[in-house]
Each structure stands twice: as structure tokens, then as C-alpha cells.
């Protein structure tokens, strides 16, 4: 029973981090119908930035809390900046191109960013310091849940509530929904579509960076390749829930996290990634619209 509970909590933690990354995919897809392949790399850059700033700030003698806050903040800022720049370079000139072009451009960007980090930093796994302090009250339950798991669950739920608020109740959110529905029409009623798209990329990247910091300090090591697998898994989550739908992405991510947790816990951990890919293939074949997605009909 305890093992079962541990697996559930582990799955939820995993799932909520996938959710943070999946939101970026789903938001971008909702607005410009593009699978932003480079999204996983944005997350990886977030983790690297956090690691670099943590080390530098610790060596400069800042105290622990300041290091956590500043490192996370810089990760969020830098990831957003990268997301914004990637959109301007690789996707904006291709707004009117055929569907295949931005997709190939996105794959190119992803490979480019991976190798950029590989060449500028290192190909080795780097140890990532555990930024999250241990809580006293959690001690008796340590074998079931760790304090980093609690922090992850809390942070992701807060981020999601804020995001929902932003999209439902603010002017920017309204503009985003309008652009997602019909870009031309949104332009006609005076929405600055390019700005909305930039904002979407920035928000998505910021969430991914948050996920990057959390998972890196939870797992304890990072390298330049973490973005690729995480990106595909988050994409799986987004598709599972119905791409373009924000609650769908969260739901899909949790389902994926739990599936992986149980599959590795009860079957075998060698095939961890195979389960995720297998799940992705199965959903796309049997229910391509996802759990909460609408079935779209093609306009002629």
C-alpha cells in the first residue's frame, strides 16, 4: 500500500512537471498551430541558466534563499528571452509558408540550441544542487513523499491557477483567445497579433524554465540532452489531453506521469521512455483529438 502511495505521489510530481512544459506546447499550438520543437530546449536552457547562476551566486557568498530566488528568476527571464528570440528568428518569417516549413525550422532550431549548449558548456552530466530545503514536518513521512515533491506540486498548481486567471480574465488573455480562434479576424478587430504571439512564447518559456529548475533540483543532474526527451514527453501529455486545450494539457500530463510511474514501478524501468512513446502512438492512432480536445473538421 505504501509502495502504491509512493508511486502515485511520484507520478503526480512527474506529471505536474510535464504539465509545466506541456502548457507551452499547447498554448503555442493553440495560437499558431505549430509544434514548437525547440520548446524542450528552452526548458533545458532554463535549467542550465539556473545551475550557472546558482554556482556563481554561491561562490560570491549570497545566502541560500537569495540564491534560490535569484537563480530561478534568472532562469525564467533567460528562458523567456530565448523563447521570444527563437520565435522572431525561426517562426515569424514563416507565418505564411506551408505547414512543413515552420516544422522543419523548429527541428533545426532544436538541434541548433542543443549543440550550442553542448559546445559552449559541456557534454557531461552536471550535478545540480538541491535548491529546495528539507521541511521538518515532513520527516515522519519521508519514505512516501519528499519536500521537493511538495514544493513541485505547490508551485505547479500556483502557476496553473495564475495562468488560468491570466487567460480567462485579463485583456491579454482575451486577445490570446481571439487570436487562437481566428487570427485574421483578431487582426481586424485591432489585436496586435504579433505581440500576442510573442507573449504566448514568453509565457510558455517561463513556465518551461520553472519546470526546468524544479526537475533539475529534484533529479539532481542535467546535461544538454534533457530537453529532447522531456520535450517529447510533454508533447505526449499535450496531445493526450487534446492539443490546444489548457486544462487538457494538465490532465494529460498527470495521466502520463502516473502511467510512467506505475509502469516503471511494476513492470521495468529499462523501458521507461518506451512506455511514454508507446502511449503517444496509441493515443494518436485511436483518439487523435485527445481527452478534452475538440474534433476539428477541415475547412476548404
* Binding positions for another protein, rule: CB under 8 A: 33-35, 45, 48-49, 51-53, 55-56, 59, 74, 78, 81-82, 85, 89-90, 93-94, 97-105, 107-117, 119-122, 126-127, 228, 232, 235, 239, 270-271, 273-274, 277-278, 280-281, 284-285, 288, 298, 300
Q: Work out how close the CB of 9 gets to another protein at its nearest, in angstroms, rounded to a whole number.
A: 26
Q: Which residue, 2 or 270, is less far from another protein as judged by CB?
A: 270
Q: Work out how close the CB of 292 gets to another protein at its nearest, in angstroms, rounded to a whole number.
A: 17
Q: Which residue, 156 or 264, is less far from another protein as judged by CB?
A: 264
Nearest-angstrom CA–CA distance, 53 and 69: 11
Q: Work out how close the CB of 6 gets to another protein at its nearest, in angstroms, rounded to a whole number.
A: 24
Q: Which residue, 19 or 38, is less far from another protein as judged by CB?
A: 38
Q: Which residue, 21 or 163, is less far from another protein as judged by CB?
A: 21
Q: Which residue, 188 or 285, is less far from another protein as judged by CB?
A: 285
Angle of helix 39-60 relative to helix 64-86, nearest 10 degrees?
Answer: 150
Q: Work out how close the CB of 82 gets to another protein at its nearest, in angstroms, rounded to a whole number.
A: 7
Nearest-angstrom CA–CA distance, 193 and 262: 43
Q: Work out how close the CB of 56 gets to another protein at its nearest, in angstroms, rounded to a whole number.
A: 6
Q: Which residue, 108 or 133, is less far from another protein as judged by CB?
A: 108
Q: Work out how close the CB of 206 gets to another protein at its nearest, in angstroms, rounded to a whole number.
A: 15
Amino acid at each position: 500500500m505504501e509502495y502504491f502511495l509512493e508511486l502515485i505521489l511520484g507520478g503526480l510530481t512527474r506529471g505536474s512537471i510535464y504539465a509545466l512544459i506541456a502548457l507551452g506546447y499547447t498554448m503555442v499550438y493553440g495560437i499558431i498551430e505549430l509544434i514548437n520543437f525547440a520548446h524542450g530546449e528552452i526548458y533545458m536552457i532554463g535549467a542550465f541558466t539556473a545551475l550557472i547562476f546558482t554556482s556563481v551566486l554561491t561562490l560570491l557568498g549570497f545566502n541560500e534563499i537569495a540564491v534560490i530566488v535569484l537563480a530561478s528568476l534568472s532562469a525564467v527571464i533567460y528562458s523567456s528571452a530565448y523563447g521570444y528570440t527563437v520565435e522572431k528568428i525561426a517562426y515569424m518569417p514563416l507565418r505564411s509558408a506551408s505547414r512543413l516549413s515552420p516544422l522543419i525550422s523548429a527541428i533545426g532550431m532544436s538541434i541548433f540550441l542543443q549543440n550550442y549548449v553542448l559546445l559552449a558548456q559541456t557534454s557531461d552530466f552536471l550535478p545540480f544542487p538541491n535548491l529546495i530545503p528539507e521541511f521538518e514536518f515532513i520527516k515522519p513521512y519521508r519514505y512516501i513523499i519528499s519536500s521537493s515533491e511538495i514544493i513541485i506540486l505547490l508551485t505547479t498548481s500556483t502557476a496553473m491557477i495564475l495562468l488560468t486567471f491570466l487567460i480567462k480574465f485579463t485583456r491579454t488573455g482575451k486577445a490570446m483567445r481571439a487570436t487562437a480562434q481566428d487570427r485574421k479576424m483578431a487582426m481586424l478587430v485591432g489585436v496586435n497579433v504579433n505581440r500576442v504571439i510573442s507573449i504566448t512564447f514568453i509565457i510558455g518559456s517561463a513556465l518551461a524554465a520553472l519546470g526546468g529548475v524544479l526537475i533539475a533540483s529534484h533529479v539532481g543532474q542535467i546535461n544538454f540532452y534533457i530537453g529532447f526527451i522531456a520535450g517529447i514527453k510533454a508533447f505526449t501529455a499535450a496531445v493526450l489531453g487534446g492539443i490546444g486545450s489548457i486544462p487538457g494539457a494538465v490532465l494529460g500530463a498527470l495521466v502520463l506521469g502516473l502511467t510512467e510511474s506505475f509502469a516503471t514501478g511494476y513492470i521495468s524501468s529499462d523501458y521507461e521512455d518506451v512506455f511514454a512513446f508507446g502511449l503517444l502512438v496509441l493515443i494518436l492512432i485511436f483518439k487523435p483529438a485527445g481527452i478534452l480536445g475538440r474534433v476539428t473538421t477541415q475547412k476548404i
